[in-house]
Amino acid sequence: RVAELERAAGGERRSARHERNLDDARLAVLVDTLTQAAAGVRAELALPATHLRPADAVAGGLTSAAPGAGRAIDDAIALEQVLRAPGTHLIVDGYNVSKSGYPDLDLAGQRRRLVAALAALAARTRAEVTVAFDGVVAAAPRGAGGRPPRGVRVRFSAGEPADDLIRRLFAAEPAGRVVVVVTSDAAIVSDVRAAGRVSAPAAILLAVLA
């Protein structure tokens, strides 16, 4: 009787492994199909290989964005989940976040602290991260070993308010891409929502970074 039970259990395990292998094979085929389809579309459109992102090219006038009904995130767990979605771009109102999160530091210290925390977040979530600060270009914040933190694009709004730079950053993104703008500035939040993007207050990002 024991031997029969052991044989039955062994058969069930083999069947379960077989089903898992089939599921893995189906998933691999699906991923390969999507990859090939994307490569085909890229070839058909003759898109060049490039590391340039829309936020890298923001300059000059306001880029138009498709209007829509954006939404707000008011929960740290929900924010991190959104940031883990493939292709998400996080845009941060630098001093709006740093002044509320690190008021005991001077501005340079706030920048360093925030950019370092954002670099860790970028590594954890794989999100594209851009942080905008008011003023002229300052020395780039440095991480461990004196190197600039990886994964964070730092922009200064020389000659314009950071609010306008932030608006141009999210307006430059294609419709359909998940763009999250973190700020507690009501005017920016209103524009973010009107553009169909996602907004989150500074306190929620600080909770994620803690």
**How many Å apart are CA 121 and CA 126, to the nearest integer?**
8
CA–CA distance, 181 with 198 (Å, rounded to integer): 6
- Can you tell me the mean pLDDT for 176-196? 93
pLDDT in tens, 157-183: 888 889 999 999 999 898 888 999 999
Specify whether 85 is located in the same domain as 163. Answer: yes
Q: What's residue 60's pLDDT?
A: 43
Are both 36 and 69 inside the same structural domain? no
Number of Cβ within a 10 Å radius of residue 132: 28
The residue from 34, 49, 64 where one domain ends is 49
Q: Which of 66-75, 107-116, 125-134 has the lowest mean pLDDT?
A: 66-75
**Residues 82 and 177 reside in one and the same domain:** yes
In this prediction, residue 160 carries a pLDDT of 85
pLDDT at 51: 56
97 and 184 fall within a common domain:
yes
Asked if residue 108 and residue 159 are part of one domain, the reply reads yes
Judgement on whether residues 105 and 198 belong to the same structural domain of the protein: yes
Q: What is the mean pLDDT of the chain?
A: 81
Among candidate residues 141, 90, 151, 89, the one with its CA nearest the CA of residue 114: 141
* Count of domains observed in the chain: 2
pLDDT band at 69 (very low <50, low <70, confident <90, very high): low
Nearest to 99, CA basis, from 114, 117, 82: 114
Q: What is the pLDDT of residue 25?
A: 78
User: CA nearest 65: which of 185, 166, 183, 210?
Assistant: 166
User: Which ranges constitute the DSSP H helices of 87-185?
Assistant: 94-101, 107-125, 162-171
Work out the average pLDDT over 66-83. 82
CATH of the domain at 99: 3.40.50
Residue 64 shares a structural domain with residue 101 = yes
Which of 29, 49, 69 is the last residue before a domain boundary? 49
Q: Tell me: do 24 and 89 sit in the same domain.
A: no
**Domain check: are 72 and 16 in the same one?**
no
Residue-wise pLDDT tens digits, 30-53: 777 777 766 666 555 445 555 556
- Cα angle vertex 142, ends 135, 115, to 5°? 60
What residue numbers bound the domain in which 151 lies?
54-209
Q: Are residues 171 and 79 in the same domain?
A: yes
Interval 116-159: pLDDT, tens: 999 999 999 999 999 999 987 665 555 544 556 788 999 998 88
**Spatial contact of 42 and 50, defined as CB atoms under 8 Å apart:** no
Residues 140 and 36 in one domain: no
d(CA 45, CA 116): 38
**Residues 12 and 98 placed together within one structural domain of the fold:** no
